[in-house]
Every structure is written in C-alpha cells, then in structure tokens.
Structure 1
Amino acid sequence: MKKRKTNLRDLTSNSETQHSHDDGHNHSNSTPISILKGYLPAIFSFVMLVAGIAVDYFEAFPHFSGWIRMIWYGVAYLPVGFPVVKEGWKSIIKGDVFTEFFLMSIATIGAFIIGEYPEGVAVMLFYAVGELFQSAAVKKAKGNIKALLDVRPKEAIVFRDGDYKSVLPEDVTIGEKIQVRVGEKIPLDGILLSEKASLNTAALTGESKPDSIRKEAKVYAGSINLESVIEVEVTNTFEDSSIARILDLVQNATARKSKTELFIRQFARIYTPIVVFLAIGVTFIPYFFVDDYVFRDWLYRALIFLVISCPCALVISIPLGYFGGLGAASKNGILFKGASFLDAITKINTLVMDKTGTVTKGVFKIKNVVVSNGSLSEVEMMKYLMAMEEQSTHPIAKAIMGYNKSGDDYDAEDVSEIAGKGLKGIVNGKTVLVGNKALMAASNIDVPTETESIVESIVLVAIDNQFAGYVVIADELKEDAKGTITALHKVGIKKIMMLSGDKDSITQKVAKELNIENAKGGLLPEDKLNEVETLKKNPENKIAFIGDGINDAPVLAASNVGIAMGGLGSDVAIETADVIIQTDQPSKVVRAIKIGRSTRKIVWQNIILAFGVKVIVLLLGAGGLATMWEAVFADVGVALLAILNAVRLQNMSWS
C-alpha cells in the first residue's frame, strides 16, 4: 500500500504536490471557484452515470447498447478513473505494485471487460469522492496547526544608524531594538522596553484573552501588538526564537507514529498483495471444483472481492485520526511531539508534579503585613522596609516593592548586608534591621512567638532596636490548580505526587490546600529523579511528570510522558518534554489526557468499523450474494464514514 506522507512541512508547503487524481482540490488558497473546480470531474461523472442508469432502466433509447453504451460509460469513467489509473501505472514503474490505485484500476477495468459499466464507473466515482472528502478532512485537521505557520512575521523594524529600518527578521541580531506597530506581529523574542503592552498570544498559547504585560517582561515572536507602538530589545535570533522552535516541533510532530499507525501501515503492505492473489484464486480455482463454472461470474466475484478488500479506510482514517488529535491539541495550546505520545498519555495512571511554576505562579506576593509597634502605621512601617529593600534584586525584595503605598518615599543610608541574616541601615536617622530571626537574635530583639508557626517566607523588621512587625511573603496558587487535582482524579489518575525543591513545610502546606496526599519538599533535581525511578520499579505505574522544563529536565526525560508547563520560552522544555503546555494552566494537562483518549477511541472505532463491514461483505461476496454496489459501500462508504468520524475530533469540547 502506498504510504501517504503526513510530514507537516510537506503538507503545509506552498509547493505541495498531491497525487495526480487530487489535482484541483488542494485548497491551500481555497475560494468557492477553486473548490468547485476540484469537484467538477466527479460532478461530470456523476451526471453521466445517473443519466446512463436512467436510460438503461427506462429503456428510453433503443439504440443505447453495444459500443454506444460502452462509450457513454467510458466518457463518464475517464474524469475520475484516468488519474487513478495513471497514478497506479507510475507506482508500478517505481516498483510499488500493490497500491490502492492498482486495486481500483484492476477492479473497474475488469468491470468494463465483463460489461458491468455502471458498476465500474460507480466504484471509481465513489473512490474519487472519497479522495475529495479525505482532502477536505485533512485540510480541516491541518487548519489549527497551519495557523501557526501564518504567525511567522515577514519583517522587523529595527533601529539602526539613528533611524528605524525595515529588514528581514533573520537579519536582526541579539541586543538590537525593534519597533512593533499596532496590529503587527512581534518578529523576534525579546524584552519589552515600553512601559506596557497588550498582546494577542492566541496563536502561541491557544488563549484568546489579550495578555497585558509591563516593562522588562518577556515577549515572544508571533504575538500581535494590540494597543500602541511598542519597543522591544531582541534576546534571541530568528532561528532560536520560540515561534521558530515551536513551528519546527509541530511540523515534525507526525514523525513519531503511534504503534497502531505503524502496525496498520505494515499490515497493508503485506495484506494488499495477499488480496490480489486471493482474487486470482477466486477467479480460477473454482474451475476445478464447480460443475457449472462460468468465467464471467467468478471474475465478477473476484472484482467485488478486490474492491471490498482495499484497505483505504484503514490507511486513510487512522493517520487522519491521529493528525486530527494533534490539530485539536494545538488548537488548545497543547503541543504533542508525535502521535505516539497521544497514545502514551492515555495509559497514564500516576502523575508527579513540581510545585513552583506548575501549581503555583512562581511569583512572590505579600500575603500579610503585621505591625507590632503601636506607634507605627502599616504604611509607615512598609516605607522603612521598602527603603531598605529598594536596591535589592532578590525575589522577596521585588515582592515587597510591589506594596501599594501613598505619600513620599523614605531614603536609606549606609545599607549593609549581613550574610545569611538580612540588611542593616539608616532610614530617617533611625537604625533599621530587615531580615530573619537570626538577625533579630544577634541584636537581642525579641520576636513574637506567633511567627514560629508561619511556614511561608517571613521578613522581620526592627527600628531602633524595637521590633516593629513582619511581612509574610508567599507564592500564589494558580487559579485552576485546585480544580485540576479534582479533575485529574475524575479522569482516572489514581496517584498524584508533588515533589519540590522548596522547603518541606511550604510544600506540605500547598499539598494540603490542593488535597494532594503525597508530597515531598527540600529536594534537589537528582532527588526528584530518584523518586520517579522508585515509582517506575512497579511496572503497573505509568508515570507523567509535570515540571517547568528547566531544572526538571532529568525527570521529564525519565518519565513515560514528560510534560513541560509554560514551556513557551524554555529551550530545555522544548528539547526534553514529550508534551508542552504553552500556557501556565495546569488544567490543560487534563485536557491533554482527554484529547489523547478521544483520539484513541476514534481510531479504534474506525478499525472495528472497517474490518467488521469488510468481513461481512467479503463473506457475502464469496457466496455470490453481494454485488459491486455492496463492495463500493464496504470500501469507499466505510472510508467516508471513518473520515467523518475522525473529523469529529476538531469539533469536540474538552472543558
């Protein structure tokens, strides 16, 4: 059976070439006229066929017989049959004899030889219609993935020699400043230099909601600028940009075939020649065993057998099913590195996850401010604290500087760092200490006992050797984190485990909030790997690991399915993970599992449908009870049903 190439680079190229019988319905630039042109040969053959059958049935023209009748149906056959016969001949010249084109050609030409003209035309017509439906289905399945190709920017406006110039994105170097106007795509990854921006990242993340970002935030190539002209400092070359890496990943996604798909392709290569020789046997062997042997009758049965046996439904619909699954996942901001992982994710029963950046936002925020000195207001204490932390780049300092205060700022002087303890300085003529309990103890400052039960990060403040208060800093849970854990249990994930490099006390607190029973904190990357390897010793455990794709690379690689969370900007995520969630939403993992299961379900439905109908009609055909019309349904009809079934993936909801 001739393989149908499913490499996306080929399928989405402007120079794409279809089989000759597909000419005219490659809808990369579809218009109503171009679509109609693709269907014209089939429409012409259909009209000729129906007219011929009507004349036969009503006997309207007495002379409609012999050569006239054969020529009429021959004209009906040529528009749909000639491209197939031509393709079959090309395949034979190349040494690939047993293709679906060969089977269709032999069956239909044989029907003409024995005078069954309408059946010969009908078989080829419905086969051609099936190919048209297949082309439309593949186009629909490719739509979401091909949309990614359309987000590639065509130009970059770069600041050079005191002026902005339009150049190719490939010609821009790291460190250069580019300008992006309203409605244009950001051509390269970079850092936002403007104060703020509103970006449409739907093509990258699958999220239609605009993303509002501030100065110094990362921006990615392919995002669309929505509000005002912005400036960006380039951090990656075009070849290394996130969109380029993702496009390369998606274009090659079908390189990793599922085991089912590989088996069907190998099966077709063995099965098709066997079918041809069996058809020859059906034609001639009865001569030795049947008294009233009639060559024409047994040849007709053999032709029916050939049409029924053509494995088109399997070879077309199964890759299309997986391709549809990849497209549906891409539409939802989920990238599978191949059809094999669509299968693998359906078998997962154990989920191991990182904490920071996976179920939490990985950004420190002020959770609570407590003032212990009655002579100070909260705002005033925070001014002292912010004056001390202003020059620090530590994540906790950044969280503190995000406090919304009013009035004038305080200035700090003679600020010094006390290693492992905190900061000491002068603010408004007062000595200020900012840090941990060890810093307070070294200065003989009493700290309230209530702070001992706080597991989150805590910043203590003392002014002129008097304890002033404290600020609790914590990482926030993602909005959908808790619902994700509940949903994972509902889809059959029996065991969920959290592994984190953060303090065990914080890890346990987050796990309790999320109803995760098994959690361990204070782990190094190698410790996480050891935990996963221990789980893998039980062959019943099929493990998926979800991490940020940077320090979790060893565990991502060791798991049955490695899932990178928010991997859009992470080189390691794209290289190591099997599945990439392009947003920071853990709930997309549940959606990925559902898409994988729906894909596998549809593929097996198609396999059972194709084999079931073919076996039934084959038995009827062998007994002389099935005609060519039943054969057409068993082959082309089942193929159409399988294609329509596969297309359902594009319209399903996994929310």
Structure 2
Amino acid sequence: MKHKHKDNVQHKQLCCTQEEKIHIQTGTKHLSQDEDCCSSQKNKHHKDSDNDEHDHSHSVSTDNVFKMFLPAIISLVLLLTGIVMDYWLPQTWFTNWVRVVWYVVVYLPVGLPVIKEAIQSIRKGDVFSEFFLMSIATIGAFAIGEYPEAVAVMLFYAIGEVFQTLAVSRAKANIKSLLDQRPDQVTVLRNNETEIVKAESVSIGEIIQLKPGEKLGLDGELVSNMASFNTSALTGESKPDTKNKGETVWAGMINLNSVALIKVTTAYTDSKLSKILELVQNATSQKAPTELFIRKFAKIYTPIVVFLALAICLIPYFFVADYQFKEWLYRALIFLVISCPCALVISIPLGYFGGIGAASRNGILFKGSNFLDTLASIQNVVMDKTGTMTEGVFKVQEVVFDTTFDKYEILKIVNVLESHSTHPVATAIHEYVGKPDNQIRLDGVEEIVGHGLKATVNGKKLLVGNFKLMDKFEIQYNIDPNSIVYTTIAVAYDNIFVGYITIADSIKEDAKQTINLLHKLNIKVTMLSGDKSTVVKYVANQLGIDQAFGDLLPEDKVNRVKDIKAQGKSVAFVGDGVNDAPVVAISDVGIAMGGLGSDATIETADVVIQDDMPSKIPMAITIGKQTKKIVWQNISLAFGVKAIVLVLGAGGLATMWEAVFADVGVALLAIFNAVRIQRMKF
C-alpha cells in the first residue's frame, strides 16, 4: 500500500549533504543543523536568497554567481602562478618553506570551507562524509609533497560544488515560480471604497476588484458579466479563458481586459493555488526507490572505501619487497578521491526534482518522485468517463413523459430536487428548466449513491435517477433502457413511472489523441463509469478504448481495478468525482483531474492534472519515463567511470588528475544530464 503524504510541510531545504542532496525550501527559515550545505559559500548563498523576501525569481544573480566562484578564481590564479614558477619559469626563492606556504595559501580559499564542513559532520556523528574524504585526501597529498595536485583536487571539487548549486538553484526556481502567482495584497471593496489589504485577511463573501494585468489572490465567483483570464499559472496553458457571471475563478489567474469584480468563496489558505503549492512543497518528501537506495548505499559505501584505502596503503607492506609508504599512500589518496559519491547523491535527486519541475510547468503535479518511477512503468490506464474523457457539461436532449402527467409540473419538482445535487446532470436540468421554484417544498431528500435522488413532495414519493433506482424501489416501466444511447434520467412520482430525460455530454477535443498516445506507449486503456453501458460503450468506440464497462457503482470500479491488479499488472486510475476517490486510493498511481475534480479525489490522488486535459496523462507517463531514463544513465555513468579509475588507481596507473575527473568531472556530467529534463518539450 503506497503512502499518501498529507502533512502540510511548511518548508524544505535545498542542500547538498551526503544524506540529503536535494531539498526544496519554500519558506524563509534558516538551515537547520541537520541540513547543512556542501560548503560555507553555498550556505551563505542559500541564506541570502531565502531571506530576501523581495526576490521572487529565486534564480542566482550575476553578482552572486561571481561571489560563489570568487574563492575558486583566487585559488586558480595562484595555483597557475605556482605551477609556472615550479615548471616553466623556475624561481630560486620559490623553494622549501616558501613553496609550502604558497600552496597552503592557495589551498585555503577552497579547502577551508570543506574542512569546516567535515568537522561539523563528524560532530554530528557523520564521520564518513564526502567532506571528510576530500579533506583527508588533499591533506594527505600535502603530507607527501604533492602540493599542486592537492590544491587542484580541492579546487575542482569547489568548482563542481558551485555548478551543483547553480543547477539546483535552477530547478528550485522552476518550482518556486509558482509562488509568484499568489499575490500578497488584493484590492477589496468596502463601504463603496477600494482598500488594499493583505490577501489572507480577506473574508469569504467580500468583493475583490481586479484590474487588467493583476493576479487574483483568492478563489471566488465572478460578479461582473464577463472577464477573460490568463490561467497559465494553474494549467500550464497560455490560452485565455473567458468566464461569465457566476462562474468560478481561481487564485493565480491574471485578468486580461476590463476591471472585474470577484466575490471571495474560499479562504486564502484553502485556495486551489495554495493547495497546488502544498502539493509541490510536499513532492520531494516521498522518495523514489532508486533515490532511497542510493542514500542507503552511500552510508555503507563511503566507510567501506575508507577502509579499502587504508588497506591499499598498509597491506602491501607485508607482500611487496620494495614497499614505499609514500607511493602506496598516494595510491590510497587517489582511491579516496575517486570514491567520493558526489555524482550519485547529487544528480539522482536532482533528476527526480527536475522531472517534478518539468511536469509542474506543464500543469501536472506529482506528489512525490516515487510516483514518477511508478508511472514510468505503468501497464494499464483505467479512467472514468464523465469529466475525464468528456467535458462533463451535459445538455438536455429530449423529455419523454407519459401524457397523463403534467410535463412542466414534473420538471419543476425534478429541478428542485436536482438542486440538492452537484452532479453535472443537475446543472443540465437547471439550464433546461430554469431557476428552481422556491415555493415547492421537499421532505426527506436523500442521495442514493450510484442510483440517484429520492424525496417526498406533497406526501408522494419522487424518484429521479437511473433505471437501477427504479428497480430498487420496484417501479414498473415498459421501455428498454439499453435502446437509448444517451444518458437517461428516469423519473417516478407516487410509485408510478413518469418517463425519462435524455442528456448528452460531448467528448473532449484531445480525448482521441490521448488514447492514441497511450497505445503508442503500449498501455492498455479501460473505461469504467457509473453511466449507462450503451453510452459508455459508444464513447469507448469513438475513442478506440480497449475495454469499457458501464452501470458501475463505486465499489464495482474498485473491484474491476482489483481484478486487473490481481493479474500482476500495474494500474493508473484517472478520475474526477467524489465517487472516484476509493478507486484512486487503491490504484498504483491515482490521477485526478484538478480543474473540475472534487477536493476528495485531488487529496487522494498521487498526480493532479490542473487543466483537465486528458492528453496530459500520456505526457505525465512520458515525463516519468524520461526522468527514470536520465537517473539510470547517471547511475551507470557514475559507477562505470568510478569502477574503471578505482582499479587503475589501486594499481598505480591513475594519478590525481584522473581521480579528479572520476569524481568532479563525472558529477558535473551527471548534473548536466539531470538538468536536461528541465529543458525538454513534451
């Protein structure tokens, strides 16, 4: 059973320790003791950027980049000068203690922060950290007189750390850009005057004035007759969305033309954008199995290589005739540098984080990197019909009532009863009949899940729902429900069958494309719906869906998904209604349509599609596949190169320069490979 993370994580840290290389921070709090960064320069950078309340871009400025590279630049200039005086333009004074002091001074700007980090890690009980490895390797090189190489190892390590910080900062900025879409202040109409107040202080029911170009701070209902909005912050789509009076608008939408008035319907902390931000903030708390394995592996791997390095240095004394301590110590130091697990513990979490960021830019929210992994290997996609593959906007097609009943009187009481439901069918009936008559009194209103509604009017029982509802109450009818293609709403009054109302729903524009793309990914598609079987099969045939089942109750959907899972196949379920929450919960990956979807389904789901476009389903799977591919490329690269150079180093065939490439070079290659996913178009 997969774990559904519900905690409201207020902040995550973005660091590079051995145990946790990538974290998100969305608050403004300082790093905790358990979340130190790889170097003091990085620590300073994080604190500076995180405490700057006005810096919403969260990208690293040119000045900050220069400051981050400054210690490495100083060391590089001094190192090159020392090498010139050592080999190309020898100086008589550049010998003995002067030469030693020179290289110590060269070493300090890049080496001192790492040594400090090593000491802090040891104090916290983490002895075998990468900082410790780099410190003893370079100090050891100094001890045997390999000064330029010692400085070069630490210099390239420091440069690698800065590039890691920049890569992480870019990934962080892609996610944190969502924060820009939630303004802190809004303009409220109070006592016929406008007043600028903090968004969190606005009460439900108050009216917000939104000027062209401004972003909406809270969810609400449009009071103005019409307004157009840019919804890219929520959906990833820049196409304008025109809303009419009474329609819902969400925080993060940008008003495009005339001044609009919005009545607040949701508190600031409960807005759809706030929930999106919470999902993103929580996303990296659930780790992929690969990521968890690498973290555990690093804890075991690092102490092992330290002891192997000691063995390389000392054991040959008993077996090698011309044993020279300096030579074997040098080999051991090379071994230590090569063994540093930077490439793995940095690039792998960064790869998953990049996948989450790439998905969020396309209006797809993953609640954890583990779901990227699971979705990448999914074999079956099971989906609901209404609101998922169809628009969920029904229109009445025909009303077929027995002539012994007053058609309009029955429609009026049906309309009042449907006002107790939020189902799209109810909306269709309201649009057809008009505003419900408040003079009509209903008693004992009850919703029978999967069947319809029941109430008493003037002492007579009224039933409105599907034909299973008629069967449940033993209402006799003389028609074959399967002969009607459209969705059918049966009506019974005073235990007599009155007739039925047919309602049709239109298929979404990209629904056919979605099925084609899923088939190209070798994924089998099944449609499950509570709608009548004839309608479900008609839609399935139109779209080319492999299997379709209708007339299902929520528990029937659950059983169907259990049957698929019992065959050993992984299942992703896509739905939007409250009745979809149970089947979303038991699937390997639950996908919710976040625009029209119910809060219960969105809360239960592992992946949320913000704009309700089904074509985002294969896109989410593709992003998962690409992320997993990049992660395994990095694992293969890191292990492959390190294994080769480790063997060469132990045999005395590799120098510190090869060790630097095996460590920092491979780490940089892996990082650059990981950030590729952030640039991909899906």
Q: How does the TM-score come out when normalised to structure 1?
A: 0.84
In structure 1, the partner of 2:657 is 629
Conserved? CA contact 2:482–2:533, under 8 Å: no
Residue aligning to 1:577: 605
Query: Residue 111 of structure 1: CA displacement?
Result: 0.8
> CA-to-partner distance for each residue in 1:205-264, whole Å, 9 max, x for gaps?
111112111111111112122212211122211121111111111111111001111111
Query: How has the CA–CA distance of structure 1 residues 126 and 61 changed in structure 2, closer, same or farther, with 3 Å as cutoff?
Result: same
Q: Which residue of 1 aligns with 2:644?
A: 616
- Residue of structure 2 in register with 1:145 after alignment: 175
Greater C-alpha Rg: 1
Change in 2 beyond 3 A, CA 1:457/1:284:
closer
Partner of residue 515 from structure 1, selected from 527, 538, 544: 544
Whether 1:290 aligns to 2:305 is no
What residue number does 1:531 align with? 560
Match of 1:561 among 579, 589, 604: 589
Partner of residue 424, structure 1: none
Aligned to 1:356: 386
Equivalent in the alignment of 1:2: 18
State the match for 2:343 in structure 1.
Answer: 313
Structure 2 vs 1, CA of residues 397 and 525 (structure 1 numbering), >3 Å: closer, same or farther?
Answer: closer
Matched, 1:596 2:624: yes
- Calculate percent identity across the aligned residue pairs: 59
- Which of residues 13, 27, 42 is equivalent to 2:28? 13
State how many pairs are aligned: 596
User: Among residues 491, 503, 508, which one is paired with 2:532 in the alignment?
Assistant: 503
| More deviation, 194-203/608-617 | 194-203
Secondary structure at the residue paired with 1:497? strand
**Of residues 143, 160, 167 in structure 1, which corresponds to 2:197?**
167
Q: Residue 387 of structure 2 contacts residue 596 of structure 2 at CA under 8 Å; is this kept in 1?
A: no
**Structure 2 counterpart SS, 1:551:** helix
The residue type paired with residue 37 of structure 1 is: K
Q: 2-side partners of 1:611 and 1:343: how far apart?
A: 21
RMSD: 3.3
Name the amino acid aligned to 1:104. Answer: M
Equivalent residue, structure 1, for 2:460: none
State the alpha-carbon separation in 2 of the partners of residues 637 and 322 from structure 1: 21
Structure 1 residues 231 and 182 mapped into 2: Cα distance closer, same or farther (>3 Å)? Answer: same
> Does residue 480 of the first structure (1) align with residue 510 of the second (2)?
yes
User: Contact between 1:389 and 1:401, CA under 8 Å: does it hold in 2?
Assistant: no
Further displaced range: 190-199 or 621-630:
190-199
**TM-score, normalised by the number of residues in structure 2:** 0.81
CA distance in 2, matches of 1:367, 1:644: 57
Superposition deviation, residue 512 in structure 1: 0.6
Give distance in 1, aligned partners of 2:237 and 2:389: 18
Matches within 5 A, 1:153-552: 153-365=183-395, 392=415, 455-457=485-487, 473-493=503-523, 495-539=524-568, 541-552=569-580
Q: Which runs of 5+ in 1 are unaligned?
A: 370-383, 404-408, 421-435, 438-448, 461-469
- Give how far 1:366 is off: 6.9
Seen in structure 2, the aligned counterparts of structure 1 residues 497 and 348 have a Cα distance that, compared at 3 Å, is same
CA distance in 1, matches of 2:265, 2:178: 21
Q: Which moved more, 1:524-533 or 1:550-559?
A: 524-533
* Counterpart check, 1:110 vs 2:120: no
- Kindly tell me: are residues 110 and 530 of structure 1, through their superposed partners in 2, closer, same or farther at Cα, counting changes over 3 Å? same
| Gaps in structure 2 of 5+ consecutive residues | 1-16, 50-57, 400-406, 419-423, 443-451, 453-465, 468-478, 491-499
Partners of 1:481 and 1:335 in 2: how far apart?
A: 20
CA distance in 2, matches of 1:396, 1:127: 63
The answer on whether the counterparts of 1:191 and 1:218 sit within 8 Å (CA) in structure 2 is yes
Going from structure 1 to structure 2, the CA distance change for 1:241 and 1:289 (only over 3 Å counts) comes to same
Corresponding residue number in structure 1 for 2:54: none
Query: Are the structure 2 counterparts of residues 30 and 2 from structure 1 closer, same or farther at C-alpha, using a change threshold of 3 Å?
Result: closer
Letter in 1 for 2:42: D
Cα distance in structure 1, aligned partners of 2:137 and 2:607: 45
User: Matched residues in 1 for 2:630 and 2:482: separation?
Assistant: 56
Specify which of 98, 110, 114 is matched with residue 68 of structure 1: 98
Structure 1, residues 357-384: CA drift from partner, whole Å, max 9, x if none?
Answer: 0000000247799xxxxxxxxxxxxxx9
Of 102, 122, 126, the residue aligned with 1:92 is 122
Task: Sort the Cα spacing of 1:105 and 1:313 in 2 relative to 1 into closer, same or farther, 3 A.
Answer: same
Report SS of the residue matched to 1:150.
helix
Question: How far has the Cα of 1:456 moved from its partner?
Answer: 1.7
For the structure 1 residues 550 and 226, does the alpha-carbon distance in structure 2 shift closer, same or farther, using more than 3 Å as the test? Answer: same
